[in-house]
Chain A
């Protein structure tokens, strides 16, 4: 079946602009995660959704970052007033029911802030 998909695959924006990154999880997966991977580093946890609600947003770096999952399926990560330090690959993952399950990762969105 289809895996986790993310759009766009690449996004170039200017400092100060607003961006939205989209994640389509595997069908039926109730748990969804966002991570950020900077060059030469491992992925860093940002936020975890269980259904429509954010069960853990402790990894969001500041209030410029926000994520939603209004119908419990597709999720959007929103970044306001982008900064050059936000440049990274943003990864989405989903798992069947909870954090105890294996997470399946999407290909990522490479965000470049000029």
Chain B
């Protein structure tokens, strides 16, 4: 079946540090890949997505590249801000097999200190 594995948190960084949150996946078909973010007290929001191999999704300074050869979709940002503190979820949608909903990782809690 499908699965998503992402690095355990919490991840604590200082403001302006470089961020990487690792995400790897297993899928039976040809998945689309997503990063969702949950800010404190708010609902899940789509941060970025990529629908095929070698695509790069980007938004709000965050980037992730769909790497089929390593089955990865790592999230990066060059300079984090306190306002980036949130829980980040990697997810996949497998349109070639498996359930029709998104498969999520467990989430990574990011804490940015001023």
Contacts and interface: CB of A to CB of B under 8 A. Distances in A.
* Size class of the B contact interface (CB-based, 8 Å): 20 to 34
A102 B49 contact: yes
A91 B102 CA distance: 12
* Size class of the A contact interface (CB-based, 8 Å): 20 to 34
> Looking at chain B's contact residues, is the secondary structure mostly helix, strand, loop, or mixed?
strand
A108 interface: yes
B107 A41 contact: yes
Contacts, number: 61
A105 B42 CA distance: 10
Interface stretch (B11-19, B64-72, B87-95): B87-95
Interface of B: 4, 32, 36, 42-46, 49, 89, 91, 93, 95, 99-107
Given A35-B101, A43-B102, A102-B46, 15 more contacts: A4-B43, A33-B102, A42-B89, A45-B102, A45-B103, A48-B100, A55-B100, A93-B44, A99-B100, A100-B93, A100-B95, A102-B49, A103-B46, A105-B44, A105-B45
